[in-house]
Amino acid sequence: MTRGSVVAAGTGLVLGLLALGPALAPGFTLAYDMVFVPHPVFDRETFGLAGMLPRHVPSDAVVTTLAQVAPADLVQKTILLAILVIACASAAALVPSERLTARLAGGVVYAWNPFVAERLLLGQWALLLGYAALPWVVRAAARGEPRRLVLALVPAAIGGFAAMAVSGLVVLVIGLHRPRPAGRSVGVGRSGVKRLPWSLGALLVMSLPWLVPSVARFSGVPADPAGVAAFAARADTPFGALGSLLLLGGGWNAETVPPGYGAAVTAVPWLCVVLLALVAYACRGRAAGTGGLGVAALAGLVLASLGAVMPGLLRWAIGLWPGFAVLRDGQQYVAPLAVVVAVGAGLVVDRVAGRRPELAALALLVPVALLPGLAWGAGGRLAAVRYPADWSRARAVVTAEPGDVLVLPWEAYRTYAWNGGRRVLDPLPRLLPGRVILNDAVRVGTGGRRDLRMAVEDPRARALDPLVRSGAPLTGALRARGVRYVAVDAPEEFAAWAGRLPGAERVVAGPDLVLYRIPGATRSRETPISQWPIAIAWFTTFAALVWSIRLPVGSLFALSSKEP
Q: Which helix (H) or strand (E) holds 168?
A: helix 161-176
For residue 407, name the pLDDT band (cuts at 50, 70, 90).
Answer: very high
What pLDDT is recorded for position 551? 63
Classify residue 553: in a domain, yes or no. yes
For residue 564, name the pLDDT band (cuts at 50, 70, 90).
Answer: very low
Structural domain containing residue 395: 388-517
Classify residue 86: in a domain, yes or no. yes
User: What is the Cα 344 distance to its own chain's centre?
Assistant: 25
pLDDT tens, position by position, 282-304: 999 877 778 899 999 999 999 99
pLDDT tens, position by position, 445-472: 655 556 677 778 898 999 999 999 999 9
Classify residue 331: in a domain, yes or no. yes
Average pLDDT of the segment spanning 533-560: 82
pLDDT tens, position by position, 11-61: 999 999 999 999 999 999 999 999 999 999 999 999 998 888 888 999 999
What pLDDT is recorded for position 559? 59
Task: For residue 400, count CB atoms less than 10 angstroms from its CB and return exposed for 0-12, middle for 13-18, buried for 19 or more.
Answer: exposed
With H, G, I as helix, E, B as strand and everything else as coil, classify residue 273.
helix
What pLDDT is recorded for position 322? 76
Q: What is the mean pLDDT of the chain?
A: 91
Nearest C-alpha neighbor of 233 from the set 338, 310, 314, 329: 329
- Cα–Cα distance measured from residue 186 to residue 183, given in angstroms and rounded to the nearest whole number: 10
User: Are both 348 and 208 inside the same structural domain?
Assistant: yes
Classify residue 271: in a domain, yes or no. yes
User: Are both 53 and 186 inside the same structural domain?
Assistant: yes
User: Are both 366 and 406 inside the same structural domain?
Assistant: no
Supply the Cα-derived Rg of the chain in whole angstroms: 24
Q: Which helix (H) or strand (E) holds 515?
A: strand 514-517
Vertex 298: Cα angle to 294 and 299 (nearest 5): 115
User: Are both 378 and 392 inside the same structural domain?
Assistant: no
- Cα–Cα distance measured from residue 490 to residue 504, given in angstroms and rounded to the nearest whole number: 18
User: Are both 465 and 338 inside the same structural domain?
Assistant: no
User: Are both 285 and 366 inside the same structural domain?
Assistant: yes
Measure Cα distances from 37 to 50, 72, 190 in Å.
19, 7, 50
At 423, phi and psi to the nearest 5?
-75, 140
Q: What is the total count of domains within the chain?
A: 2
Measure Cα distances from 119 to 134, 253, 329, 343 in Å.
15, 10, 11, 21
Q: What is the pTM of this model?
A: 0.94
- Cα–Cα distance measured from residue 441 to residue 410, given in angstroms and rounded to the nearest whole number: 9
What pLDDT is recorded for position 527? 73
User: Are both 375 and 432 inside the same structural domain?
Assistant: no
Query: Is residue 188 pLDDT above 70, yes or no?
Result: no
Which regions of 63-185 does DSSP assign to beta strands (E)? Answer: none
Vertex 472: Cα angle to 469 and 474 (nearest 5): 90
Nearest C-alpha neighbor of 12 from the set 76, 98, 107: 107
With H, G, I as helix, E, B as strand and everything else as coil, classify residue 486.
strand
Strands 514-517 and 483-488: what pairing?
antiparallel
Measure Cα distances from 53 to 218, 223, 274, 319, 456 in Å.
8, 13, 36, 18, 10
User: Are both 122 and 20 inside the same structural domain?
Assistant: yes
Longest dimension (CA), the chain: 81
390, 512 in Cβ contact below 8 A? yes
Classify residue 494: in a domain, yes or no. yes
What pLDDT is recorded for position 314? 92
Average pLDDT of the segment spanning 152-161: 97
For residue 150, name the pLDDT band (cuts at 50, 70, 90).
Answer: very high
User: Are both 18 and 60 inside the same structural domain?
Assistant: yes
For residue 343, name the pLDDT band (cuts at 50, 70, 90).
Answer: very high
Query: Is residue 4 pLDDT above 80, yes or no?
Result: yes
Classify residue 531: in a domain, yes or no. no
Q: Enumerate residues 6+ apart whose C-beta is below 8 A from 512.
A: 388, 390, 391, 416, 418, 489, 491
pLDDT tens, position by position, 214-239: 887 665 566 667 778 889 999 999 99
User: Are both 394 and 316 inside the same structural domain?
Assistant: no
Q: Identify the bridge partners of residue 486 per DSSP, sorted by sequence position.
A: 406, 516
What pLDDT is recorded for position 145? 86
**Residue 116 or 556, more confident:** 116
User: Are both 278 and 408 inside the same structural domain?
Assistant: no
- Cα–Cα distance measured from residue 279 to residue 288, given in angstroms and rounded to the nearest whole number: 15
What pLDDT is recorded for position 185? 40
Compute the CA torsion angle 455, 457, 463, 468 (nearest 10 deg): -60
pLDDT tens, position by position, 240-287: 999 999 999 999 999 999 999 999 999 999 999 999 999 999 999 877
User: Are both 429 and 321 inside the same structural domain?
Assistant: no
With H, G, I as helix, E, B as strand and everything else as coil, classify residue 29.
strand
Classify residue 527: in a domain, yes or no. no
Classify residue 524: in a domain, yes or no. no
What pLDDT is recorded for position 291? 82
